[in-house]
Structure 1
Amino acid sequence: MSIFALVLLGQVGAAPAIGADPLQLPAEVRDRKPRTRQVQTVEAPPGPQIDGCIAEMETDPVHGADAARKALAEAKGEERVRAGLCLGIALTQLERWDEAQRAFSTARSSAMPDDHASRARLGSMAGNAAFAGGQPDSALALFDSAQTEARQAGDGALGGAIAIDRARALVTLGRNDEAAAALAEARALAPDNAQAWLLSATLSRRMDKLLEAQAQIEKAAQIAPEDPETGLEAGVIAMLSGREDAARRSWQSVLATAPESAAAATAKGYLAQLGNGGPAKP
């Protein structure tokens, strides 16, 4: 193994060192905010809508939160689903995570008991708010409940996304074997989810399972060939496997396909340590 590979190994670790750096996963896992894009897929029940709530939240989250809070105070029954959802979205924009968690939980509890898909999505959003607020135990409990609802809904894509959320929380809690099992479930439920394969490869690499990591990163690359995080991780796995030329090619591909990304900045630093940060040769 080259000197640089040893340095790289020291940076990323042969296995997760949960104590000092609790999130030994890439940025998607470590820094990802609650998935507010799910507002587009939550199926709010019929009833009065909050006019302009989401639009106002996007332009002025403070006023958006005020409008949603007033609507929630006046809402009845299933109308509280939409009101709680809008309030939670506004509060995530303000990074008021505890309040956002409560708002999403209110929306979830207001949904019809048999509307498992909406309850799963809202529970997942509550879990993401708890996670962003530094409460992985609470987040995991919310993700577990959301996963149960997703199974009852029979929604594989949703179940796969929530399984990834569970893995993030489990890694934070140092329960890596359980996190690996959660990612295996994500891959089974949503085999075309590139992130599930990428995060599986990263965790396998952290657990010093380089053969598994290689197979998983290859699958991620098949699904999302131009994803810079996948290219960056592929290079790390190759380097730790003693394949310096393959690592160089992976990192050069990141510079070529996403030159302005954070992954490209990291790849450039790795290539500089190898002595060649230039473009890949044909």
Structure 2
Amino acid sequence: MILLPVLLAAAAPTLDCPALLKDDPAKALEIANGRILQGGGVSAKQCAALAFAALGKWPAAAAAFEQAAHEAERGQLAVAADLWVQAGNAHLAAGQAKEAVGAFDAALLTGAVTGRASGEAHLDRARAQVALGKLDQARIDLDVALRQVPEDPLAWLLSASLARRMGDLERAGTDIGKAAQLSPDDASVALEAGRIALASGSPDAARVAFEGAIKVQPNSDAAKAAQAELDRLKTPAQQK
């Protein structure tokens, strides 16, 4: 009897994961799983994880990235840190915030995540902390991210949103201003600016910001949220 891994190996003697992912992620997953059954190493597991991600199967992708990260750690490979970061982002996409925090913790504990990569990892861990309602921990991570990746508008946007949620409207206004400087045509930034203006008691400024979000990216999720905010701002007389 011929085993399945042998058949897969015969069908694909080389595993060009990037090309396969672009052309046929399901085929990439099939071949990668065959290589894993044959005792394939970190690269096969990472390819499987990337294929799951390309197919939108985020819980499976997160699990596969973690398997690859564990194997990389056993082999003392530097790629382990990157794999933990990928696992964390897959968990986030799967709505698994607690597991995401654990993966980002593992990545940062390796000591191999430095510079911009460290800033982005802290930013992503902050997103997971917010999802868990741990706003104080998220604030710590975001402050690190802002120091390490001050050119990233998403960091300033998330910082502004967090500050608003924590009642620090002065900081929220300052941070959303920096986000707007870095990304002036981002509907998400305009949407948050409107929410901060509304929380600060400035409905007219909020309307301008919400209308700006719709104008710059009319079909985006942020624009739809901005329209919902505008609808809530309408007076009974305007709704007639």
CA distance in 1, matches of 2:57, 2:117: 25
CA gap of 1:97–1:274, structure 2 versus 1, over 3 A, is closer
2:28 match: 64
Q: CA deviation at 1:154?
A: 5.9
Q: CA deviation at 1:55?
A: 3.2
2:166 match: 207
2:185 matches 1:185: no
1:19-58 aligned within 5 A = 50-51=15-16, 53-58=17-22
1:164-243 aligned within 5 A = 164-243=123-202
2:5 match: none
- Using structure 1 for the length normalisation, give the TM-score: 0.71
CA distance in 2, matches of 1:202, 1:273: 20
By relative contact order (CA 8 Å, sep 6+), the higher-ranking structure is 1
Letter in 1 for 2:20: E
1:262 match: 221
- Asked if the contact 1:49/1:82 (under 8 Å) is kept, the reply is no
2:50 matches 1:89: yes
CA gap of 1:163–1:68, structure 2 versus 1, over 3 A, is same
Letter in 2 for 1:241: S
Q: CA deviation at 1:263?
A: 1.3
2:88 matches 1:135: no
- Using structure 2 for the length normalisation, give the TM-score: 0.82
Q: CA deviation at 1:275?
A: 4.2
Letter in 1 for 2:35: A
Q: 1:105 aligns with which of 52, 61, 66?
A: 66
Q: CA deviation at 1:138?
A: 2.3
CA distance in 2, matches of 1:176, 1:126: 22
**Alignment deviations for residues 95-138 of structure 1 (CA, whole Å, 9 cap, x no partner):** 433432232123323446362xx322210111222333343322
Number of aligned pairs?
221
Letter in 2 for 1:138: E
CA distance in 2, matches of 1:202, 1:93: 29
CA distance in 1, matches of 2:96, 2:68: 20
- Asked if the contact 1:75/1:83 (under 8 Å) is kept, the reply is no
1:34 match: none
Rg (Cα) greater in structure: 2
2:9 match: none
CA gap of 1:86–1:203, structure 2 versus 1, over 3 A, is same
1:27 match: none
Aligned residue for 1:174, secondary structure, equals coil
Letter in 1 for 2:19: A
**Alignment deviations for residues 174-210 of structure 1 (CA, whole Å, 9 cap, x no partner):** 2110111111111111111111110111111111111
CA gap of 1:189–1:49, structure 2 versus 1, over 3 A, is farther
Q: CA deviation at 1:56?
A: 2.8
CA gap of 1:125–1:49, structure 2 versus 1, over 3 A, is farther
Letter in 1 for 2:81: A
2:6 match: none
CA RMSD of aligned residues (A): 2.3
Aligned residue for 1:153, secondary structure, equals coil
Letter in 1 for 2:200: S
> Comparing both structures, which one devotes a greater share of its residues to helix?
2
Identify unmatched segments of 5+ residues in structure 1: 1-47, 277-282
1:161 match: 120
Which structure 1 residue ranges, 4+ long, deviate > 6 Å from structure 2? none
Sequence identity, in percent? 38
**Alignment deviations for residues 16-67 of structure 1 (CA, whole Å, 9 cap, x no partner):** xxxxxxxxxxxxxxxxxxxxxxxxxxxxxxxx9722x333334433222111
2:208 matches 1:245: no
